[in-house]
Chain A
Amino acid sequence: MKPSRASDPYWMLLPTLLLLLVFFVFPLALLVKHSFFSWDLLTPARFVGVENYRSLLRSGELWQTFRTTLSMSSAVVFGSMMAGLGLALLLDRPGRWAAFVRSAVFSAYVVSWVSVGLLFLWLLDADSGVLAGVFRFFAHGRAPRWLSDPALAPWAVAAVTIWKITGYALVLFLAGLQDVPQSILEAAELDGASPAQRLASITWPLLRPTTLFVATTSLISSFQLFDVVRVMTQGGPVRSTTVFVYAIYEQLFLDLRVGRASAEAVAFFGILLLLTGAQFWLFRSREGA
């Protein structure tokens, strides 16, 4: 379609462009500018060049936060995908029971993060929590300190996140399974393929685009993990659950280090940019294949 006037598309794009400029480009530019200053909001800002970045690197904070975020994200992506796929394969059938379980699993996805955090804070209490009771009953000993042991806390928080977002993966995998042609599965069955062979050679390859989509979206949401960390561990113990968004919040709102928080946010933005690039590359290589 050809516009009647050459300028028409630009006028139509203008509101969106303005919104993007005001709410995205301008704050981003401000963020980059602040990352070169030392500022506590009260005393005048002081230009420090790349010192904020250097300090983040030298203290090992950037690397540690990245490592924590990446390991928790990997656990969340892998766990939610496996749980979502497994449940989808089990629940991809008619009947009231399957519909009830599907709804029950998905219901966790619509509960607020803060409620989930508070609920699991109680469930995982190492002394009076439900899980501690189960542990005591079977293992006859003190339950592990899920949230106060630095070696366990990241995995406990990751497990809570998996519990919360598995419903989303389940719905997407169920939709993906609807697209797998029954005729191919029936033909394979007639040829004597076992259920495991049908899953490995037909269902799984045909679910690849869904898998890629689920992986990408859950990776992005797991990188934005904040509420559950804020409620359950406040980044501790020993910074073992300090993920990127929480680290930025802590630097900015608790320590009032605007410069260092900005530098950390810029680094986080760079990492997300790389991940998005990798996602585009993966999608394009799939389309080209």
Chain B
Amino acid sequence: MTGSLLGACADPAVPKGRTLVSLWFSYGGKNREVLESLVQRFNRGQTRDFVQAVYQGDYFEGLAKLRTAIAARCAPVLSHVVGEVVPYLAEAAVLEPLEDYPGLRELDLIPELGQERTWSGGGARPLCALPFNRSTPIAYLNGQLFARAGLAAPRDWQELRAVAKALSERKAGGRFGFGCPINWWFWVALVGQAGGSIVAENGRISLGDEAGVQALELWQGLVRDGLLKPPPGRDYNAWEQCNQDFLSGRAAMIWSSTAFLKYLEEHARFPVIAAPLPAGSKRAVPTGGTFWVVLRAADSARKAAAARFLRFMHEPEQVIEWSTRTGYIPVTRAAVRALEQRGYYTAHPNDRVALEQLAVAQPWPWSVDLFRIQREIVQPRLESAVIAQGNARQTLTEARALALEPT
């Protein structure tokens, strides 16, 4: 971490006369490759600015480094952070308001993916976050196993259970019908499907109340009956493990982010079918992924250069390349229109699933405590309730009490 911080503070070799924009990013593998190619395209396409992209670990490691760097007055000019942390960073006044930079107000964003509708009342606040890699959770099905069993993607919770049961094999070296990281994001999806929300309309942190309990109990039942494999590890280690379970045929169906669409399609030795998440009492998904943020502490010339880079990244050509090579949702309407015209979605129906799910996307509350509630209060208790089969109601009552405690 120290190395990264020092690296950001030092003035690295930049082509003469260009304004340096340091960019901290959190992608590995294919997504990193795509981002770096876009950064290179920007650097080659003009002679005014130079973006230097530096990998900083996964989202949470990257965020920890970013916050430490802000405190050490050594932050990069540009970074991208998960949606849950944007209200906290905005209220801490470390983010640069972006509306006055030329062109950033007029990006033709898909409202559900921009600040406007990602958060309740987000449109009324100063613009401080622009969508980059945006996603929703989707289901991935092993086409071969589903075809052999004559099954279709589950449309509701009952079908989810039935399909998971039909595709589970309990013999040695067998298979789980369903795999899903025990992660807050999927629980929020289930809470929404059960008709609840994390924060009630009056601002009370409800953690879904009864819907939260129902969501947990569904998970608990699936694990107890040996139909759902909770992958080992935490955070993105568990996500990666879940992907590997799917690719190796140890899980017939998984829930994961649309971010892994291209990765799974390219590496699976069977047809991968993407499907929307099933409904509980209704259909609902949270949105995920990250937003571009410009750090307020940077000097004005570099912030202006960062804004020019953001404008470049939101041009249809870049949005389309990022989206079609990774699986993330295209964030501008112009990019979606261009893809429709080219017949891309007809040729790649899996790519349409997350886009269409935006119709049932639930906004996040604009709450400075959201990230704390996620990381410290809910996530550890989800593990305890699902894996150790603790009492769901008691777990959430305890979590609600903790969420209300002053920090």
A residues with a Cβ closer than 8 A to B are 38, 40-43, 126-128, 136, 140-142, 145, 147-150, 153, 232-239, 253-257
Contacts and interface: CB of A to CB of B under 8 A. Distances in A.
A6 B89 CA distance: 58
Q: Is the interface of A mostly helix, strand, loop or mixed?
A: loop
A254 B64 contact: yes
A58 B3 CA distance: 37
Given A148-B230, A255-B375, A234 B380 contact: no
Given A40-B67, A237-B383, A145 B376 contact: no
A253 B1 CA distance: 10
Contacts of A126: 232
A18 to B, nearest CB: 21
A238 B230 CA distance: 12
B245 A127 contact: yes
A101 B21 CA distance: 55
Given A40-B92, A43-B92, 9 more contacts: A42-B67, A127-B245, A150-B387, A233-B234, A236-B232, A237-B234, A237-B388, A238-B387, A256-B64
Contacts of A41: 67-68, 70-71
Interface residues of B, number: 34
Contacts of B172: 136, 140-142
Interface in B229-271: 230-235, 237, 245, 248, 250
Given A136-B173, A142-B174, A148-B387, A128 B248 contact: yes
B393 interface: no
Contact of A234 (B173, B174, B233): B233
A128 B245 CA distance: 10
B94 interface: yes
A141 B174 CA distance: 9
Q: Which are the 6 A-B pairs with shortest beta-carbon distances?
A: A41-B71, A148-B232, A234-B234, A147-B232, A42-B92, A253-B64
Contact of A147 (B233, B372, B376): B233
Interface string B168-202: 00101110000000000000000000000000000
A233 B233 contact: yes
Interface string B46-90: 000000000000001100100110110000000000000000010
Contacts of A136: 172-173
Contacts of B71: 41-42
10 contacts: A41-B67, A41-B68, A42-B67, A42-B92, A142-B172, A150-B388, A233-B233, A237-B387, A239-B384, A257-B376
B407 interface: yes
A149 to B, nearest CB: 8
Nearest to B368: A43
Contacts of B376: 255, 257
Nearest to B372: A255
B64 A238 contact: no
Contacts of B61: 253
Contacts of B388: 150, 237-238
B89 to A, nearest CB: 8
Interface in B344-364: none
B250 A127 contact: yes
A43 B89 CA distance: 10
Given A136-B173, A142-B174, A254 B60 contact: yes
Nearest to A230: B237
Contacts of B233: 147-148, 232-234, 236
A128 to B, nearest CB: 7
A256 B67 contact: yes
B70 A42 contact: yes
B342 to A, nearest CB: 40
A140 B248 CA distance: 20
Contacts of B407: 38
A141 B372 CA distance: 41
Contacts of B231: 148
Contacts of A43: 92
Of the listed residues B61, B172, B237, B376, the one surrounded by the most CB atoms of chain A closer than 10 A to its CB is B172
Given A41-B67, A41-B70, A238 B375 contact: no
Contacts of A233: 232-234
Contacts of A153: 232
Nearest to B376: A255
A234 B235 contact: yes
Contacts of A232: 233
B128 to A, nearest CB: 14
Given A234-B233, A235-B234, A42 B94 contact: yes
A250 to B, nearest CB: 9
A41 to B, nearest CB: 4
Interface string B322-336: 000000000000000
B67 A237 contact: no
A233 to B, nearest CB: 7
Nearest to B60: A254
A178 to B, nearest CB: 43
B242 to A, nearest CB: 12
Contacts of B170: 142
Contacts of A254: 60, 64, 375
A128 B173 CA distance: 8
A245 to B, nearest CB: 15
Contacts of B387: 148-150, 237-238
A261 to B, nearest CB: 12
Contacts of B70: 41-42
A279 to B, nearest CB: 32
Nearest to B234: A234
Of the listed residues A40, A42, A255, A257, the one surrounded by the most CB atoms of chain B closer than 10 A to its CB is A42
A172 to B, nearest CB: 34
B329 to A, nearest CB: 27
A278 B359 CA distance: 64
Contact of B173 (A127, A147, A150, A237): A127
Interface in B213-228: none
A285 B144 CA distance: 71
B302 to A, nearest CB: 20
A148 B70 CA distance: 36
B405 to A, nearest CB: 8
B159 to A, nearest CB: 26
